Amino acid sequence: MADNEVLAAATGLARELADPVRLSALQVLASEGPQTASRLAEELRVTAPRLGNHLGRLREAGLVAVQHTGRHAVYRLADPRAGAVLTALFRYAGGGDRARPQADVARTCYDHVAGHLGVQVFAHLVTRGALREPDGRGDELTLGTDPAAWRELGVEPESAGASRRKAAVACLDRTYRLPHLGGRLGGAVLDAFLRDGLVEAAPGSRTLAVTPSGARRLAAFLPG
């Protein structure tokens, strides 16, 4: 890219970051991962129409992308490298990283993983084609044909066994308002994480503590 093109791109980025709502929205997406528009509006304490205008502008600028998941429009950073720019900007301005309660990072929902970790694992399995999302007529998920994404999580899909319980369902996360994985396979993922020492259950609590090994193995699914 020529120098004048680089300058134009940098100037355009700075123009979009100059608005507090757009900057805050990008920071949330960078630190917490994909979000629905309603969740972002709640987090930023702005009205949905006002946020919608800003998200439209960020889409036009190529800074965010949107994917429709059932009835939800889910926004994410279009380029993960923008996260490094935002981190550097906030640190330069004297701000620290956005801290989240550990229970928001990872917790159990019945016998499966919820919180940021659960939502990101679900999105990863859908993106890889290991799961196909419901068609609007129920919450049950269809398994894909490639088991590689499951094996990377320590799960053999066929080993989940058969029972009256559904193999995989989309369970709406209470915090992020996005789906995480329930059903027999959701339980198998949690069992694998516990077996491999990636997370530890806190006694008397639904909170899951991510171990140092888990922080390395699951880095792609944890808040940045």
Domains of the chain by start residue, with CATH: 3-92 (1.10.10.10), 102-221 (no CATH)
Residue 98 φ then ψ, to 5°: -70, 115
pLDDT, position 160:
60
Q: State whether residue 136 is helix, strand or coil.
A: coil
Average pLDDT over residues 123-148: 80
Q: What single letter denotes the amino acid at residue 2?
A: A
Q: What global pTM score does this model have?
A: 0.62
Q: State whether residue 65 is helix, strand or coil.
A: strand
What is the distance between the alpha carbons of residues 123 and 66, in angstroms, rounded to a whole number? 13
Kindly tell me if the per-residue pLDDT of 19 is higher than 60.
Answer: yes
- If one compares 223 and 41, the residue with the highest pLDDT of the two is 41
Sign of CA dihedral 109, 115, 117, 119: positive
Return the closest-CA partner of residue 167 out of 146, 151, 202, 143: 143
Kindly tell me if the per-residue pLDDT of 181 is higher than 80.
Answer: yes
Percent of the chain topping pLDDT 70: 88
What is the distance between the alpha carbons of residues 179 and 138, in angstroms, rounded to a whole number? 13
What is the distance between the alpha carbons of residues 208 and 45, in angstroms, rounded to a whole number? 28
Kindly tell me if the per-residue pLDDT of 212 is higher than 90.
Answer: yes
Kindly tell me if the per-residue pLDDT of 100 is higher than 60.
Answer: no
**Residue 174 pLDDT level (bands cut at 50, 70, 90):** confident
Mean pLDDT of the chain: 83
pLDDT, position 69:
66
**Residue 53 pLDDT level (bands cut at 50, 70, 90):** very high
Kindly tell me if the per-residue pLDDT of 98 is higher than 60.
Answer: no
**What is the token pair recorded at 187?**
């339980």
